[in-house]
A = this chain, B = another copy of it.
Amino acid sequence: MVNDRLTLGVASRLSRYLQVLTQAKRMGKTSISSQAVSEYTNVNPTQIRRDLSGFGKFGKRGVGYDIDMLIGQIRKILRTSGQHHIALFGAGNLGQAIASSGVFGDHGFRIAAMFDVDPEKVGTSVGDLTVRHYTELQRVVAEDGIQVGVLAVPSATAQQIADDLVSSGVKIIFNYSDALLTVPSDVTVHASNPAVELLYALYFYLS
């Protein structure tokens, strides 16, 4: 039971809790109730407590949950407590925004390398990273144990990079481009489109 695979629903909710907890921590809070988490996630408070109590008794009755502790516990449950290495492709506006934002760092991801093909950009620094030329991909993936590739490039080049990542053994691709990527079935592509999320939000506002 304890070692069971989480269901999609539970894993997705735990991730959302993690997001709120991280934000709350950043705002200086040290403890939070299921009721408060509920307000930020729109997940029923009983559901939240049930999700958590399946893995242990993390809260204090009458008080709530210690934020640091709960973040640690959820990371353990999601088995993502360790360090993970990601490679970022594209040193344009989006790439630079991602590299300098710290969102990945907060969750145990290290941006181990940043690539571009533009000779103007290769060699420059973004935060504490130096932009490398795309031809180093294969070597860097192997040497730095890259597990995730993040694509912040024009759609026209996205598929090529995806192919190269796949042949280097990367199994998770995060695609910010508009391209529809074709990959082998053991590779996960995660695409995120703010406009579509907005449509979804808008629907519930309009009705």
Contacts and interface: CB of A to CB of B under 8 A. Distances in A.
Interface of A: 5-6, 11-12, 15-16, 18-20, 22-24, 26-27, 40, 78-80, 84, 86, 92-94, 96-98, 100-104, 106-107, 109, 147-148, 150, 152, 155, 171-172, 174, 178-180, 188, 190-207
Contacts of A80: 199, 202-203, 206
A84 B152 CA distance: 26
Contacts of A202: 78, 80, 84, 147-148, 172
Given A26-B180, A107-B199, A179-B23, A11 B194 contact: no
Given A171-B205, A205-B171, A196 B19 contact: yes
Contacts of A179: 23, 26-27
B100 A5 contact: no
A23 B203 CA distance: 21
22 contacts: A6-B207, A11-B204, A22-B178, A23-B178, A26-B178, A26-B180, A78-B199, A79-B207, A80-B206, A86-B198, A92-B97, A94-B101, A106-B178, A107-B196, A107-B198, A109-B195, A172-B198, A174-B198, A188-B201, A190-B197, A192-B192, A192-B194
Contacts of A155: 26
Nearest to A206: B79
A196 B33 CA distance: 21
A97 B104 contact: no
Contact of A188 (B101, B150, B171, B205): B205
Contacts of A19: 191, 193, 196
B97 A200 contact: no
A193 B103 contact: yes
Given A22-B196, A107-B199, 19 more contacts: A11-B203, A15-B196, A15-B199, A16-B196, A19-B191, A22-B193, A23-B191, A24-B180, A26-B155, A40-B180, A78-B199, A80-B202, A97-B97, A98-B194, A104-B198, A107-B196, A109-B198, A172-B202, A174-B201
